[in-house]
Amino acid sequence: MRFARALLPLALLVACSSEPRPRPPGVLFVSVEQQSAWVRNFNPLFAGAGARWPTRAGVYECMEIFSSAQGKWVPWLATGHAWSEDQLTLRFNVRDGVLWSDGKPFTADDVVYTFGLLKQHPALDAGGVWRFLTDVKTEGKGTVAFTFSRVYLPGFSDLAHQIIVPQHVWKDVADPVTFTNPEPVATGPFTQVTLFRNQVYELGRNPHYWQPGKPAVSALRFLAFPTNDQANMALVEGEVDWAGNFVPAVDRTFVSRDPAHHARWFPLYGSTVFLYPNTTRPPLDDVRVRKALSMALDRDRLVEVAMYGYTRPADATALNDAYTGWKDAEVAKDTWTHYDLAAANKLLDEAGLTRGTDGMRRLKDGQPFALDLEVVSGWSDWVRAGQVVGRDLRKLGIGVTLKTYEFGTWFTRLQKGEFQLAISWSLDGPTPYNFYKWLLSPRTVRPVGEVAAANWHRMGDAQADELLVRFERAGTPEEQHALMSQVQQRFSATAPAIPLFPNPSWGESNSSRFTGFPTEQNPYARLAPHAEPDSLLVLTQLSPRER
Amino acid sequence: MGRYILRRMGFYLIAAWASLTLNFVIPRLAPGDPAAAMFARFEGKVAPEAMGALKAAFGFTDAPLYAQYFTYLKHLVQGDLGMSYAYFPARVTEVIGTGLMWTVALAGVAVIISFVLGSFLGVLAAWNRGGWLDSGLAPALAFLGAFPYFWLAMLALYLFGFVLGWFPLRHAYGHDMEPGLSFAFAADVARHAVLPASSIVVATLGGWMLGMRNTMVATLGTDSIRLAHARGLPPRQVMLRYAARNALLPNVTSFGMAVGFVLSGSLLTEIVFSYPGTGYLLILAVRNQDYPLMQGLFLVITLAVLAANFAVDLICLWLDPRTRAHA
């Protein structure tokens, strides 16, 4: 008892000093990664590295930045680029007067050196650029020339977005793949690690940043929040200035607490969420069956129930809002993504999947038509989506069992084609080229049992592929758009996968201490900090509010 | 006695080897391909062509199991736990190092407080059987202990952190504090530890108290206690030196096991209070099929449990003269 009496005053003593501490002015608090403790790693080259978030989004930089919100390329470490007449050589003009954070000049040699590293260490070549390149060399002082092995215009984005590292530092690195780069030397706005502890770290300004007067923010600070709940609580409490979290009922829980400063912008620039049917399993190889499944889905309810109404139903092009300029209006009107139970039933009847006396449909061999739908356990939005999909499909007389797996198991089954139905994302890029290639090209189809990076539904369409190959060589915007329209027609005709909704790109800002966040009215970049390298545009635009 | 201790040490060495081997085997029996799982984390940001290169970089091998086993043992002896997949290219030792100290400090202190306080309360409850401690506090603590820990911790966080604002909502120390051997820092750490530590204590106190009370009641009914009373010894001496010392044995044994839960079981505490410990690392390792990190954490937990049990053996030796007689 004596012990308990001794404890009480101690507890009161420590409790008394708990008023919130003032935060240092000019220090931007960011919440992007959810981790229980920080590990010091700033390796920008190896995509598989658990590098801290700003490594590829504020510490290091690339030559040009694609702003999907503006739909255009913004010159960055390069002032511009030009293709040769035969489209086999691409030349970037390297910006003059850029310094590394240690004061040494950034040159075209650094660019050539970086691409050399990718060739030497294939693990670093995340974009696979050396599949289509034969040579990279400097021409004069400020030009880098990339020689292509074949005409492949979509390769531009892989080259422009490649992070560039300093030759004078990395030439002494023994293994660039396993290098944790604890003291980064870079060209970005924030390069100085001023604080690094297990639950907090801070990045200070690059003393030699090439954009005069920028950044206006004096430092970035990152607190470790192991769960979404903790990160959201900090955001709601005003402890975080910029975040990219999924916040349930965001308008009520966050924005309405301080409408003048709290803002969220969830543009539909994330990847498209699909219901993937395994087309190697009859009757899912029948386009009529796939379209019937699609028409049984009440997507309006689906986005309301599963996604809090943050998104809209997908149309027959499956394109998200980042590709608005590419969308073919005629294809978008196709009805196989519209809710129509009667038409869905008719399609299934035509496909020979008749209803038994119990109201359940039978396969041609008399077996009941039953499918397993696989989602990741704990991904609550997709689990809810799976429940809605299952209920809707049961109305067609199809038995659906929702199965949840741990992420690793789920993804292995998806990649190996060992599933029947699954909900998953899509592969994206600056143009819809990658998106459709991974949905439709026979070049991306792998046999069941072999790991496929996408095209998990395992379907290819030769006609679409021919159009995609022509797109690789299409020089003019008119030609590109015409080809992409035809690809969309092929997608809508073959329905290889069932689009559900475009994923929002989560972004929240608290402008009580900083101004200049992108908004729907001022969409100079995506608000989501995950949208690398868009975040470079944001970080150089923000400024502390005068008090 | 020396031979007894040597024999126990031999037993613990074999136990350590067996658990290391299980540690190697179990993750490899789990379904799924770690390379695929790791690749999945990029959600399409990495070209599929890089996958083969990734596998090479992570050193995924198709070598026969026995060869992998010997490599594993060899590296273990060298103190090399390999590279974490989830935190690649950080070393496992470095990753575990970010949290180990905090977990040991928080959960260790909480378990010791809970054990000491609970056992002491149990002694008092049994001594004054039917008193308010026995009929009031003991059932109340058992009631609290029956709640799911997660819920209890969330409630404490909400009430004392969010609503009343007495304690910080997260982390082990304020993010503007300079860690060091200063009074201000120690006070800050203590302030951050109050809620998580007391939630562990509240959740486990009842168990210690009841366990102690029940054995104590049985001990108080034995002839030796009656004899001690008859000899006219002071009641306090009878209570502590005669009864409590004997009744403590079962509780000490459970304490050895509780230490294991200190390292693995504080997972929920760490999630609720964003405490930068190892529990959360463990679940991340499992999710990412991060074998090296899992093995590293299991190794630490195994060794801690074995060490704690060895310590318990020694304490029992001191507490219970019978063990000494047989040794």
Q: Which residues pair with A82 in a beta bridge?
A: A91
Both tokens of A347, joined, read: 């399609």
CATH number of the domain where residue A316 is located: 3.10.105.10
Q: Could you tell me if residue A457 is inside a domain?
A: yes
Q: On the CB side of B76, how many CA atoms lie within 13 Å of its CA?
A: 21
Q: How many domains does chain B have?
A: 1
Q: Could you tell me if residue B308 is inside a domain?
A: yes
Q: Determine the 3-state secondary structure of A220 from DSSP.
A: strand
**pLDDT given for residue B279 in this prediction:** 79
Q: How does pLDDT run across A511-547, given as a tens digit for each residue? A: 999 999 999 999 999 999 988 888 999 999 999 986 5
Q: Could you tell me if residue A518 is inside a domain?
A: yes
Task: Tell me if ipTM is over 0.90.
Answer: no
Q: Could you tell me if residue B203 is inside a domain?
A: yes
The reply to whether residue B99 touches residue A37, judged by beta carbons under 8 angstroms, is: yes
Closest chain A residue to B87, measured at CA: A50
| Listed residue (A178, A184, A185, A146) closest to A162, CA to CA | A146
A-chain residues near B288 (CB < 8 A): 408
Q: Could you tell me if residue B100 is inside a domain?
A: yes
Domain check: are A147 and A257 in the same one? no
Q: Model confidence at A137, in pLDDT bands (50, 70, 90)?
A: very high
Would an 8 Å CB–CB cutoff place B38 in contact with chain A? Answer: yes
Range of the domain at B248: 96-319
The reply to whether residue B194 touches residue A11, judged by beta carbons under 8 angstroms, is: yes
Domain check: are A515 and A493 in the same one? no
Q: Model confidence at A163, in pLDDT bands (50, 70, 90)?
A: very high
Q: What is chain A's Cα-based Rg?
A: 26
Closest chain B residue to A182, measured at CA: B90
**pLDDT given for residue B326 in this prediction:** 57
Domain check: are A512 and A403 in the same one? no
Would an 8 Å CB–CB cutoff place B287 in contact with chain A? Answer: yes
Residue A408 scores a pLDDT above 70: yes
Per residue, the 3-state secondary structure of A49-115, as one string, reads: CCCCHHHHCCCCCCCEEEECCCCEEEECCEEEEEECCCCCEEEEEECCCCECCCCCECCHHHHHHHH
CATH number of the domain where residue A208 is located: 3.40.190.10
Closest chain A residue to B97, measured at CA: A198
With a CB-CB cutoff of 8 Å, which residues 305-364 of chain A face chain B? none
DSSP string, B143-191: HHHHS-HHHHHHHHIIIIIIIS--S-SSSSS-TT---SS-HHHHHHHHH
Q: How does pLDDT run across A302-314, given as a tens digit for each residue? A: 999 999 899 999 9
Domain check: are A164 and A297 in the same one? no
Q: Could you tell me if residue B165 is inside a domain?
A: yes
Both tokens of A114, joined, read: 């970086």
Q: Rounded mean pLDDT of B137-156?
A: 84
**pLDDT given for residue A23 in this prediction:** 78
| Angle between helices B100-127 and B245-264 in degrees, nearest 10 | 150
Domain boundary among the residues A171, A206, A224 is at: A171
Interior angle at CA A3, CA B232 and CA B183, nearest 5: 145
With a CB-CB cutoff of 8 Å, which residues 455-514 of chain A face chain B? none
The reply to whether residue B40 touches residue A36, judged by beta carbons under 8 angstroms, is: no
Which range, A466-470, B209-213, B255-259, is most confident?
Answer: A466-470
Q: Could you tell me if residue B38 is inside a domain?
A: no
With a CB-CB cutoff of 8 Å, which residues 46-85 of chain A face chain B? 46-50
Domain boundary among the residues A171, A195, A214 is at: A171
The reply to whether residue A233 touches residue B169, judged by beta carbons under 8 angstroms, is: yes
- The closest CB to that of B94, out of A39, A226, A230, belongs to A39
Q: Could you tell me if residue A14 is inside a domain?
A: no
Domain check: are A499 and A537 in the same one? no
Q: Could you tell me if residue B18 is inside a domain?
A: no
- Closest-CA distance, A328 to chain B, in angstroms, reads 25
Residue A164 scores a pLDDT above 80: yes
Cα-Cα-Cα-Cα dihedral sign, residues A294, A296, A297, A300: positive
Q: How does pLDDT run across A329-354, given as a tens digit for each residue? A: 999 999 999 999 999 999 999 999 98
Domain check: are A453 and A314 in the same one? yes
The Cα–Cα gap between A487 and A480 comes to 10
With a CB-CB cutoff of 8 Å, which residues 65-124 of chain B face chain A? 83-84, 86-90, 94-95, 98-99, 102, 116-117, 120, 124
Q: Between these two residues, B58 and A273, which has the higher pLDDT value?
A: A273
Range of the domain at A110: 64-171
Q: What is the mean pLDDT of chain A?
A: 90
The Cα–Cα gap between B58 and A230 comes to 32
Q: Could you tell me if residue A442 is inside a domain?
A: yes
Would an 8 Å CB–CB cutoff place B2 in contact with chain A? Answer: no
A-chain residues near B49 (CB < 8 A): 125, 128, 131
| Listed residue (A547, A193, A14, A513) closest to B174, CA to CA | A14
Residue B296 scores a pLDDT above 70: yes
Q: Between these two residues, B226 and B39, which has the higher pLDDT value?
A: B226
Residue A196 scores a pLDDT above 60: yes
Domain check: are A499 and A511 in the same one? no
The Cα–Cα gap between A333 and A317 comes to 9
- Closest-CA distance, A337 to chain B, in angstroms, reads 25
Would an 8 Å CB–CB cutoff place A253 in contact with chain B? Answer: no
Q: Rounded mean pLDDT of B69-78?
A: 84
The reply to whether residue A411 touches residue B42, judged by beta carbons under 8 angstroms, is: no
Q: Could you tell me if residue B85 is inside a domain?
A: no
Q: How does pLDDT run across A6-36, given as a tens digit for each residue? A: 444 444 444 444 445 567 889 999 998 878 7
Q: Model confidence at A437, in pLDDT bands (50, 70, 90)?
A: very high
**pLDDT given for residue A59 in this prediction:** 96
The Cα–Cα gap between A234 and B136 comes to 39
Q: Between these two residues, A398 and B65, which has the higher pLDDT value?
A: A398
Domain boundary among the residues A127, A142, A171 is at: A171
Q: Could you tell me if residue B63 is inside a domain?
A: no
Q: Could you tell me if residue A9 is inside a domain?
A: no
Q: Could you tell me if residue A253 is inside a domain?
A: yes
Domain check: are A102 and A158 in the same one? yes
| Listed residue (B40, B121, B160) closest to A2, CA to CA | B121
Domain check: are A166 and A74 in the same one? yes
H/E element, B322:
helix B321-326
With a CB-CB cutoff of 8 Å, which residues 208-247 of chain B face chain A? none
Domain check: are A278 and A383 in the same one? yes
Q: How does pLDDT run across B2-52, given as a tens digit for each residue? A: 788 888 888 888 988 888 888 888 777 766 666 666 666 555 555 555 666
H/E element, A275:
strand A272-277
Q: How many domains does chain A have?
A: 3
Domain check: are A264 and A275 in the same one? no
Q: Could you tell me if residue A11 is inside a domain?
A: no
Report phi then psi at A170, rounded to 5.
-75, -15
Q: Could you tell me if residue A431 is inside a domain?
A: yes
Strands A200-205 and A219-223: antiparallel
- The closest CB to that of B51, out of A43, A223, A453, belongs to A453
- Closest-CA distance, A390 to chain B, in angstroms, reads 25
Domain check: are A279 and A246 in the same one? no
CATH number of the domain where residue B267 is located: 1.10.3720.10
